[in-house]
Structure 1
Amino acid sequence: MKLFWKVFCSFILFVQAVTGNWWNLAAPRVPSQAGNTSLETFTTLQKESCHRLEYLVERQKQLCLLSDRVLQVLQTGASQAVEECQHQFRHSRWNCSTVANSTDIFGGVLKFKSRESAFVHALSSAALAHAVARACSRGELNECSCDARVRKRTPRHWQWGGCSEDIRYGEIFSRDFVDAKEDKNTDEGLMNLHNNEAGRRAVRSRMQRVCKCHGMSGSCSVRVCWRRLPQLRLVGDALTTRYEGASHVKVVDRKRGKNIRKLRPIHADMKKPNKTDLVYLEESPDYCEPNDELGILGTRGRTCNRTSAGLDGCRLLCCGRGYQTRVRDHEEKCRCRFVWCCRVHCEICRYKRDHHVCN
């Protein structure tokens, strides 16, 4: 009976996670110590939940049922997206903070069709494509493996080999799962679809070719190459740059036989965004003051950099409210030296450091 309740609690948390946006799977769940029998029970519950959740459209239910490992890959992609978002926004007024016990892990921030929402959708779509492609190459999904298409090419001076990570399948899965929820007939859906695709393209365009030499005495008579996914940090850095230059757009109806809705710059003299740019429809909310309804924590009590003119500087991060300087004691290893053989001996140095906190 005790074992059953562990499995049941894990199932309930799983259902709560997916009733919001899919990236809610990044929320921590109760670890199960179940054995083989409980794993089978949990798997059955997971598959049954795919049919019952009204949040999932038909295509998402099909993907949910592909295999037992799909949900684990979804959780991996969601967790990586949240972690990367928090890294990229660690110095910003909104630092991608998460809200516990909410239907959306980001609170109500993404209710606004803002540039932050654009970034989260792009990064989440990219992280899922990345996670799926990596799971394929590791043999964790039965539906895919290594990318065999690259072997059909005939490059000069080198040959394809190894296991090329299949970003094509990752993109297809991400497009099917993430985009299935969006309605292109709504302004928000049109914006989200554009940003989702921009995120996937950020991964694809940064695929790396890795080569290894083979031959006698290091002659490199044969060079074998394969394609490797970029680190998600590189994708996050690229999307952050796109976020900073995101295009403020509006939806325009064009009637050419049938009604076609397009995203166009809000001002005629602005550059038309391409498929790799991020776009947003509304200005961001105020992140300076707490807002319980939206899950905004505000910037009071945040650590700032007094000498920085960037987003982490006290002038910008503290929103003009000023800051307090506190002196804190710090300890660190110093005057380290090598002692034969074989250890490093260090002394402990103590010093005081100014710590600046927003009012």
Structure 2
Amino acid sequence: MMLPTQVHLLLVFTLTGRLLRVMGSPLVMDPNSICRRSKPSGGANNELCQTQPEIIQEVAKGARLGMRECQHQFRHHRWNCTGHGKNLGKILQQDIRETAFVNGIMAAGVLHAVTRACSQGDLLQCGCVPSSSGGLNEKAMLSPNPALQDQHWEWGGCGDDVDFGYKISRQFLDTRKRKGISDIRSLIDLHNNEAGRLAVKTNMRTECKCHGLSGSCTLRSCWRKLPLFRQVGNHLMQSFQMAVRVMGANDGKSLVPLDGDVPPLGAHSLIYSDESPDFCIANRRTGSEGTRGRVCNGTGTAPGACDWLCCNKGHTEHTLEYEENCHCQFQYCCVVQCERCAVRKEVSICL
């Protein structure tokens, strides 16, 4: 598995307006790569590349953020959101639920990174959200703290400008559909992109600060802040586990669940149209690298367990020996000193 600092990622965005295309070798998700692959589509993306490169920097950070979270969420799964050569590209060319998750987490990552850059003052095009006025019912509804319903509070502080991040995420990641054509893949991609962005917006949290004499809290000023991106990843992982298989409707412009007993599609659902391969065995056609050599843990059928992860092909025990910091102590002033200790660890490896 590649380290986060070695993000040589092959992302397949074959439709116009995507961040990257799969080429003959892995691509680093950097601003230059994004802009080179935006040129064929022209329009607003080209203009941003030429006049506002700082936004492209944040788009690239968001893409890396999304892929790191994908690797975390799938670390115990047979497909662990990594790939070498063209394998990752081949997986993402399929319209499977893993592709749905990647599209969602990438759209969320770009939104999150751009919005955070706005709040930190790294982008001049945006900043804090202006204070909003509204009735108490609206405020109480938005606040996760029921106690606030009985107290007077006002919008204030520095709210995160999630709407600007949303706009940039849509601009770079949403498919530009051709007039009169609505293919199923485009509709699915657009839906999953939006589900990723909604995962950020619906997990926004309200932060408040007390004001009053002698530390009392007679008045609170509150503002909306981004969620931790791990929360967004957890939200989308739940959506992945409940992903809905769809097909094109008779009108050719919409999607419906393949299973007629499933409720109508919600905006937060991740959707797909093809079943996933089992990822047990390396397969060049599907891009599967198999699970041979993966580290597993324990027995059972849960993700990460040896029987499940190794696809019942068995596993072997190995002893890893390495050094790590230990017995760390804080030394006045401001230095932490550690010893190096030898560590032996027993691990199970899939055959």
Question: By the TM > 0.5 criterion, same fold?
Answer: yes
Following TM superposition, by how much is the alpha carbon of 1:268 offset from its aligned partner in structure 2, in angstroms? 1.5
Following TM superposition, by how much is the alpha carbon of 1:329 offset from its aligned partner in structure 2, in angstroms? 4.8
Q: How many residues align?
A: 319
CA–CA distance in structure 1, aligned partners of residues 270 and 235 of structure 2: 11
Alignment of 1:107-256 (within 5 A): 107-148=89-130, 150-155=131-136, 157-181=152-176, 185-254=182-251
Gaps of 5+ in 2: 1-9, 137-150
CA–CA distance in structure 2, aligned partners of residues 125 and 48 of structure 1: 17
Name the stretch that deviates more: 125-134 or 213-222: 213-222
Name the stretch that deviates more: 179-188 or 278-287: 179-188
Of 57, 65, 69, the residue aligned with 1:84 is 69
Following TM superposition, by how much is the alpha carbon of 1:227 offset from its aligned partner in structure 2, in angstroms? 0.8
Following TM superposition, by how much is the alpha carbon of 1:326 offset from its aligned partner in structure 2, in angstroms? 2.3
Aligned residues of 1:182 and 1:193 also touching (Cα < 8 A): no
Cα root mean square deviation, aligned: 3.6
Letter in 1 for 2:168: F
Name the stretch that deviates more: 156-165 or 187-196: 156-165
Of 46, 55, 58, the residue aligned with 2:43 is 58
Name the stretch that deviates more: 231-240 or 167-176: 167-176
What is the match of residue 269 of structure 2?
A: 277
Q: 1:309 to 1:348 in 2, by over 3 A?
A: farther
Q: State the TM-score, normalized to the length of structure 1.
A: 0.77
* Secondary structure of the corresponding residue to residue 153 of structure 1: coil
- Larger Rg: 1 or 2? 1
Aligned residues of 1:129 and 1:173 also touching (Cα < 8 A): yes
What is the match of residue 33 of structure 1?
A: none
Aligned residues of 1:112 and 1:285 also touching (Cα < 8 A): no
Following TM superposition, by how much is the alpha carbon of 1:92 offset from its aligned partner in structure 2, in angstroms? 0.6
Aligned residues of 1:47 and 1:65 also touching (Cα < 8 A): no
Following TM superposition, by how much is the alpha carbon of 1:152 offset from its aligned partner in structure 2, in angstroms? 2.9
Following TM superposition, by how much is the alpha carbon of 1:297 offset from its aligned partner in structure 2, in angstroms? 2.0
CA–CA distance in structure 2, aligned partners of residues 276 and 270 of structure 1: 15
* Secondary structure of the corresponding residue to residue 227 of structure 1: strand
Q: 1:345 to 1:116 in 2, by over 3 A?
A: closer
Letter in 2 for 1:252: A
Aligned residues of 1:164 and 1:226 also touching (Cα < 8 A): yes
Name the stretch that deviates more: 172-181 or 232-241: 172-181
Following TM superposition, by how much is the alpha carbon of 1:217 offset from its aligned partner in structure 2, in angstroms? 2.5
Of 59, 71, 89, the residue aligned with 1:74 is 59
What is the match of residue 261 of structure 1?
A: 253
Of 295, 300, 318, the residue aligned with 1:303 is 295
* Secondary structure of the corresponding residue to residue 242 of structure 1: helix
Aligned residues of 2:11 and 2:92 also touching (Cα < 8 A): no
Q: 1:308 to 1:162 in 2, by over 3 A?
A: farther
Following TM superposition, by how much is the alpha carbon of 1:83 offset from its aligned partner in structure 2, in angstroms? 0.4
Percent of pairs identical after alignment?
36
Aligned residues of 2:90 and 2:285 also touching (Cα < 8 A): yes
Letter in 1 for 2:95: K
Alignment of 1:281-296 (within 5 A): 281-296=273-288
Q: State the TM-score, normalized to the length of structure 2.
A: 0.78
CA–CA distance in structure 2, aligned partners of residues 232 and 340 of structure 1: 34
* Secondary structure of the corresponding residue to residue 275 of structure 1: coil
Deviation per CA, 1:9-53: give whole Å up to 9, x if none: xxxxxxx999964167995479xxxxxxxxxxxx9x9999588x2
* Secondary structure of the corresponding residue to residue 81 of structure 1: helix
Letter in 1 for 2:225: R
Aligned residues of 1:77 and 1:131 also touching (Cα < 8 A): yes
Deviation per CA, 1:247-277: give whole Å up to 9, x if none: 01111123xxxxx522111121223221111
Aligned residues of 2:12 and 2:92 also touching (Cα < 8 A): no
CA–CA distance in structure 2, aligned partners of residues 352 and 139 of structure 1: 46
Deviation per CA, 1:90-147: give whole Å up to 9, x if none: 11111000335x5xx9321111100001111111111111112112222222332211
Q: 1:238 to 1:23 in 2, by over 3 A?
A: farther
